[in-house]
Each structure stands twice: as structure tokens, then as C-alpha cells.
Amino acid sequence: MIKTDISEKLRLLEDAIQKYVRPDSFALAIRVMKKNESLPPHIKQPHIDFAKTFSICQAITMARKYGWSLAMGAKDLSCPIAKVAFGFEEELDYYSAGNLTDGMYTKTCEAGAITEAAVPKFSQNEAGTVLISPLNRTNYEPEVITVYGNSAQVMRMVAAALYQTGGEIASTFTARADCADIVIKTVQTSKPQVILPCYGDRVFGQTQDHEMAFTLPYIMVDDFIVGLERTHKGGVRYPIPHYLQYEAKYPETYEKLNNMFENSKLESQ
């Protein structure tokens, strides 16, 4: 069972995200299981529960839209790029040479090889079943927190993540394999990331055009909660409070009527 302090921390995080960010889908907890760990209870394995294989981005959308908890192991995964990135399959020369991007994402295989080399990857020793669940249904200690939202909501979370330290968040984008950025890069760097949903996330995960994502290492949760609270108090809020204290300029005919009102008042004095 999940430890009481972890459960309480996830509850506080869920409350803070709902209050200060207001995402349209569930915030997620993600963990890559170690070799000696047992699968938590009440979690769906696609190859068993659905007799299907899915991409990681499909599983993320199921978790954040349906509220399901999923375990994505080697037998559950369909996407060949994710199989390599998450260490479930060997990185064959055919992949490394850029054949999957040639003519689609890049002009040549040589350019594609550079793109593939940029994808964050686990070694086969680091590979493990990826657990994905909504915060309020998580029964394990996560490594990564992921929240999808619009650009203003992501901006709101960036501000909260930087509250304690200042500075900036550095993120990289390739239009491919955002699952590797969400999970692998966040685990490897222990730093938050702004995630641009990739093409596959939009096609197979059905992520919408207005959506982006934000990831946070679990070790930063306490500071992030404080950051959400304090930046809200400081005036950085969502929904964005639009400035409305200005005098509008109207069409000439409208202004003429306003002048008539004023002239009528002067004549009656």
C-alpha cells in the first residue's frame, strides 16, 4: 500500500492543481517500475484487460480522460519508437539510421539519425513497466507528475515551479516521441519540462490542438504546491484576470449619441 505521507502529499497536490490551474483532465502520477517491484493492485494491463496493445500516449490520455490506472510493459506497448526509447527493444541500425523519419519528418536519413539520437532513452537495464494514474487513484510513489492544459495553464505551472529558485525552465522539442520527454527526460534530469505534444500524441492519443503538457519531478512537489499558492497570492492567476479598467472607444455614430446625451443635460440646466 502507498505510504500515508505520500497519499497525503498527492491529495494536497491534487487540491492545489484543481484550485490554481483548473485543468480539463486529470493530473497524472507516473512511475517506472524497478526490476524487483510488484505490480500495484487495481491497475489495468492492456494486453490482459483489453487484449490489445497501445502507445504510451494512448495510455496517458486514457488515464487523464477516463480516470483509469494503467501499466504499460513490453507486452502492452505497440509504438516501435517507444519500444526503443523505453528500453523494451534493442535500438536497431534501421531505427538509428533515421529510416522512420526519412521523407516524413526529415529531408534525409542522415538528418533523421540526428533526430532519433535526440530522443531521450532508457537502457535495457533501466527499462520497466510504466505506471500511469490520476493523482487521486495513485497507490504507488510516483517519479513524475504530468498535467495537460492550455498554454496559459502551463505558463501558470511554470511560474509556480520557478517560485523558489527563479530562473527559467529549459525544454527541447522535436515534434516526435513526447512520451520520452514526459517520462524519460524528466526522470533523467530531475527537472520540470514544458511538453509540446508530438504528432503521434495528437493522432493516437487524440490530444487536442489547444493542449500542452507540463511535467514535474515528484521530488519538487512540496515546493511546487507552495509556488502555486504564493504566485496566486502575488497575482499570477488562472483564469487570467484580463485588465478591464479602460474607457472604450466606440464608432462615430455611438459617440454622436453620447454627445447628444451630454448636450441634452446641459440644455436642461
- pLDDT of the residue at 267: 85
The one-character DSSP state at 239 is S
- pLDDT of the residue at 141: 96
**Which segment of 4-8, 61-65, 90-94, 248-252 scores lowest on mean pLDDT?**
4-8
pLDDT at 224 over 60: yes
Domain range annotation of the chain = 4-268
Residues 200-220: what's their mean pLDDT?
97
Q: Which residues contact 119 (CB under 8 A, 6 or more apart)?
A: 81, 84, 85, 174, 176, 177, 180
Say whether 107 sits in a helix, a strand or coil. coil
Query: What backbone torsions phi and psi does residue 57 show, to the nearest 5 degrees?
Result: -65, -35
- pLDDT of the residue at 239: 96
Q: Which residues contact 57 (CB under 8 A, 6 or more apart)?
A: 79, 178, 179, 197, 198, 200, 201, 204, 205, 207
Residue 55: closest CA among 77, 33, 35, 75: 77
Question: Which three cell numbers mark 247?
Answer: 474607457
Q: What are the pLDDT digits (tens) for 20-58?
A: 999 999 999 999 999 889 999 999 999 999 999 999 999
Question: Please, what is the angle between helix 221-234 and helix 151-161, to 10°?
Answer: 110
- pLDDT of the residue at 1: 52
Based on C-alpha coordinates, what's the Rg of the chain?
Answer: 24
Q: What are the pLDDT digits (tens) for 92-130?
A: 999 999 999 999 999 999 999 999 999 999 999 999 999
